């Protein structure tokens, strides 16, 4: 993709002095609900009103959206409030209807992004559209799939593109509904700095009480905006009740967020930062040196296991190590999530080293 600063123009055209805010209910439920929320948001920092018209549910039987009639409600909400309207599309037929009702922003959901056939169908249906199209990360942590989805849209002549980071599914139980995997989004940001990156704390957390924290983390990483599910009566929402906030709470979240500068030109800042980075570089060098030595020990263990015909994986030993490292890490101010990630990676590399020794 030949992405340039011109691809940010749609965002710059909002002429905002703050990150872009997209907000509205998970699902459009009734005309009154849509209009009431839109009117409560119109005088805030919200630029785009979002509402799900078609809701892809994990299992059948739940509320799957009101369908086309909801597009009429969005059109009316736009006329009354001036807010731009956004909804999710998953099929060519849905794209056709959304364009007929002049929806301003279309987003492709995580379950769709994971399927190149589905994304291509949408790209064909959206060929050369001047609408803003946002692509959520795929449900599984795969940067190539995310980029591939964008490439299909870009190749279809769609230039007003952006991405939404909504977290990734995991079988493990964590405090998140979908784990952020911040590094994947950072890698995307580094590859495509001119594609706007928007955080979806509602789907990452699944918990309205964590939305501020995750949004602030994203802004600290120079994200361009946020999409937050907002409902006048969250507890009685027809879908995803636990992760929606009231318009009043949304306004407070926006007010409390700290907007960071990308950098600072002051000599004092740059001198101190340079010194800290020298320290970081030295610690990183030592980490690699220690890890290299650790893997040499793993090689020796592999040789011993080969000699005695013992299996590589020793679950009891691994669980003991992990438990101890979590406790030791907490004493050093390191989160359990971080310890799990880093020691799982170390453990996998250690297994790989042992297997190479055993199989040679």
Per-domain residue ranges of the chain? 5-256, 267-359
pLDDT average, residue stretch 234-243: 96
pTM over 0.75: yes
Predicted local confidence at residue 174, as pLDDT? 86
Other Cβ atoms less than 10 A from the Cβ of 246: the count is 17
With 70 as the cut, is the pLDDT of residue 4 above it?
A: no
**C-beta of residue 211 within 8 angstroms of C-beta of residue 227:** no
- The per-residue pLDDT for range 216-227, each reduced to its tens digit, is 999 999 999 999
Residue 2 has pLDDT above 80, yes or no: no
5-256 fold: TIM Barrel (3.20.20)
Whether residue 333 has pLDDT greater than 70? yes
> What average pLDDT does the segment 103-125 reach?
97
How many angstroms from the chain centroid is the CA of residue 269?
31
**Mean of all residue pLDDT scores within the chain:** 94
pLDDT given at position 264: 85
Q: Which of the residue ranges 16-20, 52-56, 244-248 would you say has the lowest mean pLDDT?
A: 52-56
Report the C-alpha gap between 143 and 17 in whole angstroms.
30
Please state the rounded mean pLDDT for residues 341-346: 92
Per-residue model confidence (pLDDT) at position 150:
95
Whether the predicted pLDDT of 213 surpasses 80: yes
Q: Is the pLDDT of residue 172 over 80?
A: no
For 267-359, CATH number? 1.20.59.10
The residues pairing with 87 across neighbouring beta strands, listed in sequence order, are 106
172 versus 347: the higher-pLDDT residue is 347
pLDDT-based confidence at residue 337 (cuts at 50, 70, 90): confident
CA distances for 90 relative to 19, 44, 137, angstroms: 27, 30, 14
Q: Tens of pLDDT along 59-96?
A: 777 788 999 999 999 999 999 999 999 999 999 999 99
Q: What is the pLDDT of residues 162-171, one digit of tens each?
A: 999 999 998 8
**Cα-Cα end-to-end distance for the chain:** 43
């Amino acid at each position: 993709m030949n992405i340039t600063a011109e691809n940010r123009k749609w965002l710059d055209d909002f002429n905002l002095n703050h990150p872009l805010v997209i907000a509205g209910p998970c699902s459009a439920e009734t005309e009154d609900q849509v209009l009431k929320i839109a009117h409560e948001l119109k005088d805030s920092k919200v630029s785009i009103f979002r509402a799900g018209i078609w809701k892809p549910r994990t299992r059948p039987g739940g509320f799957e959206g009101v369908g086309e009639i909801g597009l009429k409600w969005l059109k009316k909400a736009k006329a009354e409030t001036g807010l731009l309207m956004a909804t999710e599309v998953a099929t060519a037929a849905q794209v056709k209807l959304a364009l007929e009702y002049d929806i301003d922003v279309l987003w492709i959901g995580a379950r769709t992004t994971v399927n190149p056939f589905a994304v291509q169908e949408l790209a064909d249906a959206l060929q050369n559209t001047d609408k803003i199209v946002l692509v959520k990360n795929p449900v599984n942590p795969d940067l190539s799939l995310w980029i591939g989805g964008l490439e299909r849209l870009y190749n279809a002549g769609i230039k007003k593109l952006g991405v939404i980071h909504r977290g990734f599914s995991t079988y493990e139980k964590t405090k998140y509904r979908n784990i952020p995997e911040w590094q994947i989004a950072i890698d995307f940001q580094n590859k495509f700095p001119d594609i706007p990156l928007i955080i979806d704390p509602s789907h990452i957390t699944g918990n309205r009480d964590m939305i501020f924290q995750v949004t602030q983390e994203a802004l600290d990483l120079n994200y361009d905006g946020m999409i937050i599910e907002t409902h006048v009566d969250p507890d009685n929402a027809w879908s995803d009740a636990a992760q929606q906030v009231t318009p009043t709470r949304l306004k407070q979240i926006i007010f409390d967020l700290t907007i960071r500068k990308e950098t600072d030109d002051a000599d004092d800042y740059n001198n101190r930062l340079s010194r800290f980075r020298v320290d970081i570089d030295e610690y990183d060098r030592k980490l690699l040196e220690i890890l290299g030595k650790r893997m040499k020990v793993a090689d020796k263990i592999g040789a011993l296991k080969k000699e005695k015909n013992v299996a590589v994986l020793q679950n009891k030993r691994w669980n003991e190590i992990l438990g101890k490292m979590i406790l030791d890490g907490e004493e050093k101010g390191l989160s359990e999530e971080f310890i799990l990630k880093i020691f799982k990676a170390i453990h996998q590399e250690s297994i790989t080293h042992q297997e190479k020794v055993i199989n040679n």
